[in-house]
Structure 1
Amino acid sequence: MPELEVDGAVLVYDDEGPRDGDGGVPLVFIHGWTADRHRWDDQFAHFATGRRVVRLDLRGHGGSTGAGARTVDQLAADVVVLLDHLEVGRFVPVGHSMGGMIAQTLALTHPERVTRMVLVDSISRMTYSWARGLLLAVSTLLPFKLFVAINIQRAFAPGFPKEKIRAYIDASAATPREVVMTCYGAMRAFDVLDRVGTITAPTLIAHGYHDIQLPLSQMLRMANAYPDAVVRIVDAGHELPVERPAELTALIDRFVTAPTA
């Protein structure tokens, strides 16, 4: 698999699909916390038949190396370096959870390059009630594997196959502790809610109805701040790309192929 050295990390990535531009602006898939680029297998395979698609393992995740990022800005900067290396100019970021935070950062820092944007189970500001904030603080004191297992288990809607959840827990727990905890801190500090009103790129916001990691109420607060956003609620939890892959793929397909106003 191709890889690129970026600021002390080695990023592995996939770059597939036609380069002639006839299929539309390239899509760039960005996974979430403790995940990897394979979260997007269904969507990547679908779109690679007709347009250029890029996905990567963020630093310290999956097959990539490097210390964890302490800010979402650092993760977004890694993506920009990769896209510059691949000579991708304008693009559509498709981000899940933490990847959606990265996508928003890209839209704010490089508005001339982001033509549209897709946010999946993501928000613009982490907000906690007193009780939930205390629970999260206490959870960081748990043994590492238990901390990861609790967070991944609750990401899925009731009824999702337990054997698949166990596989995702094992994969997440393989992410180095330092990477998990620093990126966790980066997400908790992320706050662009007061700035997203300047993002003019048409945006699709897809969110799981049963998402308790990043609750629906927080997403709706974000959506209300966007000047040009379409919201779609899906019967799923926080892991929409793998809980309802075909449904999400269809939503993205309709959005990126729709004519602009």
Structure 2
Amino acid sequence: MPQLEVDGASLTYDDEGPRDGGGVPLVFVHGWTANRHRWDHQMAHFSEKRRVVRLDLRGHGESGVAGVRTIEELARDVLALLDHLKIERFVLVGHSMGGMISQLIALSHPDRVERMVLVDSISRMTYNRGRGLLMAASTLVPFNLFIAANIQRAFAPGYPREEVRRYIRASAATPREVVMTLYNAMRAFDVLDRVGEIRTPTLIVHGYHDIQLPVSQMLRMAKAFPDAEVRILDAGHELPVEKPAELTSTLDRFLTERS
């Protein structure tokens, strides 16, 4: 698999599909403690007809760590990769923290983002005092328990337990420093007052059973967007793997209707 050195970290990525025709390239950005394989179903489908890029974010999957600190830094990594690949204009698809990264890119480089899809993501994390205290307290428990609790609740009720355990193991392989630093970065993330500046046609897809980033918070974000469609699917927070075919079909329709 190809890698790119960016500020001391080796970023592992995939770049597949035809270079000509089929529209501008699709760029898939995964979420916290995940990796590029969250997008396996979408990669297989879309790369048949168009260029598709996905990467392991710094500190995740098969990419190096090298001092990840902020979501802004991750956004710069994505742009550095696209510059390296000479991709000037693209469609961004971001899941959870990847959606936060996508919003930052759309705000800083609106001329480069043709369309954007936010999957189970928000623009501002909002919680009452009780939940805020619970989230802060959760960082004090043993690391493996912290990971297990967060990943377990990311899936809708009824999702196969062995599959959930597999994702817990994969998330626990993410370095503790990366996990905790970006957990706090997501808690502090807030561009809600700026998303009205985003004129990029946007699709917001959210799991009805998402308790990590609840639908109510997503709707607050959607209301602030000047040009956004909303689709709610019967899933939890991990839509790319809980309902891969439905998500792919939803993306396909958005890309076709907007072309």
TM-score by length of 2: 0.99
How far the C-alpha of 1:69 sits from its partner, in A, is 2.6
Partner SS, residue 164 of structure 1: helix
How far the C-alpha of 1:66 sits from its partner, in A, is 1.6
Distance in 1 separating the partners of 2:68 and 2:115:
25
How far the C-alpha of 1:185 sits from its partner, in A, is 1.3
How far the C-alpha of 1:68 sits from its partner, in A, is 4.9
State the aligned residue count: 259
Ranges in structure 2 where 5+ consecutive residues have no aligned partner:
none
User: Which residue identity is paired with 1:7?
Assistant: D
User: Which residue identity is paired with 1:31?
Assistant: H
1:40 is aligned to 39
User: Which residue identity is paired with 2:4?
Assistant: L
1:225 is aligned to 224
Distance in 2 separating the partners of 1:151 and 1:68:
23
1:11 is aligned to 11
Q: How does 1:131-170 map to 2 (within 5 A)?
A: 131-170=130-169
How far the C-alpha of 1:250 sits from its partner, in A, is 0.3
Q: Is the 8 A contact 1:70 1:185 kept in 2?
A: no
Aligned-pair identity in percent equals 75
1:100 is aligned to 99
Ranges in structure 1 where 5+ consecutive residues have no aligned partner:
none
How far the C-alpha of 1:23 sits from its partner, in A, is 0.4
Q: Is the 8 A contact 1:101 1:123 kept in 2?
A: yes
RMSD of the TM alignment (CA)?
A: 0.8
- Give the 4+ runs in structure 1 shifted more than 6 A: none
1:137-168 Cα offsets, whole Å, 9 max, x none, are: 00000000100000000000000000000000
How far the C-alpha of 1:8 sits from its partner, in A, is 1.5
Distance in 1 separating the partners of 2:193 and 2:79:
23
2:174 is aligned to 175
Distance in 1 separating the partners of 2:88 and 2:174:
31
User: Which residue identity is paired with 2:227?
Assistant: D
Distance in 2 separating the partners of 1:10 and 1:25:
25
1:164-205 Cα offsets, whole Å, 9 max, x none, are: 000000000000000101111111111000000010010000
Partner SS, residue 116 of structure 1: strand
How far the C-alpha of 1:67 sits from its partner, in A, is 3.5
Distance in 2 separating the partners of 1:19 and 1:78:
22
Partner SS, residue 206 of structure 2: strand
1:186 is aligned to 185
TM-score by length of 1: 0.98
The question of 1:212 aligning with 2:216 is answered: no
How far the C-alpha of 1:70 sits from its partner, in A, is 2.0
Q: Is the 8 A contact 1:59 1:66 kept in 2?
A: yes
2:129 is aligned to 130
Distance in 2 separating the partners of 1:37 and 1:163:
21
CA pair 87-138 structure 1, distance change in 2 beyond 3 A? same
